[in-house]
Amino acid sequence: MVCAVPETLRQIIWRAINLVRSEPPLRRVSAAAALIILAWAVRAGAGPGSAFSGHDSGPGTTPSLAELIYAAGMVGAAMVSGQALARRAIASLRLRSPGIEVLVTVAAAGAVAIGEYWEAAAVTFLFDLGGYLEWKTLERTRAAIRALADWSPQTARVRRPDGSEAVIRAEEVRPGDILVVKSGDKLAADGIVLRGEAEVNEAALTGEPLPVPKGPGDTVMAGSVATRGLMEVEATRVGEETTFGRIIQLVGEAQEARSPVQTAVERFARYYTPAIMVLAAVTFFMTRDTHLALTLLVVACPGALVLAAPVSLVAGIGRAARQGVLIKGGQRLEKLARVDAVAFDKTGTLTAGRPEVVGVRVLDEPAPGAAGVAITEAELLRLAAAAEKGSEHPLAAAILERAAAELWAEALPEPRQVRVFPGRGIAAAVDGRQVLVGNTRLMEEMGLTVDASVLNSVQEEAARGRTVALVAVDGRIYGWISLADRIRKSARNLVPLLRRVGVRQTVMLTGDSAAAAAPVAAALGIDRVEAGLLPEDKVKKLRELSAQGFTVAMVGDGINDAPALSAADVSIAIGAGTDVALEAADVALITDNLERIALAIGLARAIVTNVRQNLTFAVIVVLSLVAGVLFGRVHLASGMLIHEISVLAVILNGMRLLYLPSPRSPAPLRPARKGAELRRELSM
């Protein structure tokens, strides 16, 4: 234990040395600090004297060697710290856009000219040190974005036409290549799973911590990692065209885009610096107090004011990107922060957009017709699925998927004499039996009687938002299959989350019938339902909401809802793997997790609030420092110190956005009894 302390101390010293070696700005700061310490040490060792004056000797006397070393050390420190500062000041003057650096450079040069060597060294050193600390602090913010770029895949395992495998660079992958993805591999392209199954971690793109199971037909994104399993993927988009590549590009563009507040502050700063120099000059001519004029130059630096908006925007947009939310720049972010009404498309947005079988029903007594035998639910499903093998309709795909899940050990027979009736159903011969799958219209066209009890059941299912496919075998209706578009799991708590972040109105705009839309709206607690709408009708409804004083966000899939997305104050596209969604929307969700909509709105409000806090704080600090100078309470070095502390405070306040907790629903949604019943029915 006794030897542990020196060893730990040596490790700390060695790490400090390595850090200084690796970062040129820190080398400069360290050299200036060493010169200042040396100057004070020499002066202190020379005997009593003023602790804050660089010239103890009286007029006409020769300065002592200690005083000369002290002055040289302080001037040297000012030159070491101020060299980069002066270069930036000269560059800004050449561009006719003088900034903070000009004020500090003039103040430091003036301090040296009047013999205030300590003040010159302190001002430049504190500014240089503050700049280094600002850079290090902002690095933490930029790392949120850089981590995405660092996650880029480097290699890919490709299956050659002869069946062999080869490892190539990620940029060499071409559309159509077959990628062999094993456990631990990072996908090098967007693609479609051809064979095999695996769990894929998409956290780097969507922020979802849990792996997602993938199988044949599923899409995968570049940058995701296979955590378990083996699969072959056909590359569809590569390089910068992948979802991952587009994220990197769009986040970079979003950071470059200026918000109205940021633009206004930068315009103000462009005129503020010359104005302060003129004010300092006027102060000098009125008071003949050089020290006062130089101090005014330093303390009036608008450093914190200039950084107030950018640091919050970078941190906030970076945080959103890590959660799978792309906010396209500051102007759109400010609009998003004002959103108090959200309109949703239904199909593909609130629901999965893919019908699923939710029930198989066999009649107790088959409908009248030719003689037949009893059929079980499994047999009804088997015959219907076999007939639907000849159809490409989405409902057919849902029936086949259900059959594959329940009858996995039994191969479906091939249908014969297939006849497709568009908009009505399908007929086929299966195992020598005539099978008919379709709606009541098809049954009547084929001469089958649909009695009142069956019609009532069909109408009841329709009232629940379901579609019914009647199944007839050898001329008798034996039952039906109910299908529904399931509500997304992430939509269940969406409305309470939106309420919590300040949204006052939620509306469903859909082209579906009121019977199909009402159960979904009731299950989710959505305020209003506008059903049976054409695209132009959705635009009209959005304009009506805006006319009522709402700032409206429209949520859609980015393709079918293009007119409505364009008409809204803010457009939010989900499932942003599509180019349309990434390019057109103000906000794009890489994931289909609808709760991220509340995250985006809440984060936008937090960013705008953060910017206002920073601006208010910066203005108060500048005014307080100027008042302190005029009343003789603030001096050059102390003013510079307070200025740098205020800049760091603004940066740290902005960085809080990186760790802001996501909004969570305060309580489960409690719909009315009817809505609760409908929700249970929809989840069957």
CA distance 570 to 332: 7
In the beta sheet, which residues pair with residue 155?
169
Catalytic residue among 177, 190, 345, 586: 345
3-state secondary structure of 590: coil
Q: Minimal CA–CA distance to 646: which of 310, 301, 293, 315?
A: 301
Q: Dihedrals φ, ψ of 247, to 5°?
A: -60, -50
Greatest distance between any 2 Cα atoms in the chain = 130
Secondary structure of 493-528 in HEC code, one letter for each residue: CHHHHHHHCCCCEEEEECCCCHHHHHHHHHHHCCCE
Four-point Cα dihedral 434, 438, 443, 446, nearest 10: -50
CA distance 81 to 637: 14
Torsion sign over Cα 70, 72, 78, 84: negative
Rounded (5°) CA angle 525-527-529: 105
Residue 271 DSSP symbol: H
Residue 439 DSSP symbol: -
Length of the chain: 684
| Cβ proximity of 357 and 522 under 8 Å | no
CA distance 585 to 600: 13
3-state secondary structure of 45: helix
CA distance 326 to 318: 9
Please indicate whether residue 345 is annotated as part of the active site. Answer: yes
Helix or strand holding residue 341 (H, E): strand 341-344
| Cβ proximity of 414 and 389 under 8 Å | yes
CA distance 654 to 50: 41
**Residue 127, both tokens:** 């500014």
In the beta sheet, which residues pair with residue 479?
362, 471
CA distance 192 to 117: 69
In the beta sheet, which residues pair with residue 554?
343, 571
CA distance 84 to 338: 42
3-state secondary structure of 41: helix
Region at 551 (left for phi over 0; alpha for psi -120 to 50; beta for the rest): beta
In the beta sheet, which residues pair with residue 300?
none
Q: Minimal CA–CA distance to 254: which of 203, 204, 316?
A: 316
Catalytic residue numbers read: 345
